[in-house]
Each structure stands twice: as C-alpha cells, then as structure tokens.
Amino acid sequence: MAKIIDDETMENVCILAKLSLTEDEKEKAKEDMQKMLDYVDKLDELDTSSVEPMSHIFEDENVFREDIVTNGDNHEAMLANAPKQKENQYQVPKTIG
C-alpha cells in the first residue's frame, strides 16, 4: 500500500528541495507525488520471481581495442611552433619562486 502524501511530508519535501510553493502549488504537487507512488505500487504487483537481477538493461560487454598510435611522432613540427626551445623541449617561464 502506498504511503499517503500528507501536508507534513509535503512541507519536508519543500524544505529539502528549497521550494517556496503556494498552497495551490503544494496541493498540485501532492497530487502528482501521490500519482507517482500509486504507479510504483502498481509495478509492485508484477510477478518478477522468474526474472533474474541485472546490473544493466543491455547484454553488451565492453569492447576493447589495442592502443595503437596512428599519428606518429611529429616532434620537430610541434617544436617549430614553440616560441622558445631548450634541449628539444618547450621552454616556458618559471612559475614558482
């Protein structure tokens, strides 16, 4: 049996969600929440005893591939764009004292 959404529950939800609702909005929200709980109760009526638990809805497994470098080492071209170089590396300003 579904829990009945009462004024106290609605007030707690408003506090937790940081909502400021008018009385009309609270009543509408209570009706909507009650419909959701009723729907969940309806789902509980289903016989799931023959259904095995699962962690995912799809039976796909991870597909792994080899990590193969395809763009190669373009070291010289990258260093050509560097404003300063030192020992075949980018030279950057010192950032700590």
Is residue 76 one of the residues assigned to a domain?
no
What's the domain count of the chain? 1
Looking at the DSSP bridge assignments, the partners of residue 85 are 90
Domain that holds residue 11: 7-44
Q: And the tokens for 53?
A: 């638990």
Tell me what pLDDT residue 14 has.
Answer: 92
Tell me what pLDDT residue 68 has.
Answer: 87
Is residue 58 one of the residues assigned to a domain?
no
Q: Which distant-in-sequence residues (6+ apart) come within 8 Å of 7 by Cβ?
A: 26, 30
Is residue 38 one of the residues assigned to a domain?
yes
Rounded average pLDDT over 3-15: 90
Is residue 80 one of the residues assigned to a domain?
no
């023959």: which residue's tokens?
Answer: 50
Is residue 34 one of the residues assigned to a domain?
yes
The residue count for the chain: 97
Among the listed residues 28, 32, 24, 26, the one whose alpha carbon sits nearest the alpha carbon of residue 11: 26
Tell me what pLDDT residue 1 has.
Answer: 58
Tell me what pLDDT residue 48 has.
Answer: 87
Q: How confident is the model at residue 2 (pLDDT cuts 50, 70, 90)?
A: low
User: What digits encode the pLDDT tens for the residues 24-75?
Assistant: 999 999 999 999 999 998 888 889 889 888 877 887 778 888 888 887 788 8
8 φψ region: left (φ > 0), alpha (ψ -120 to 50), beta (else): alpha
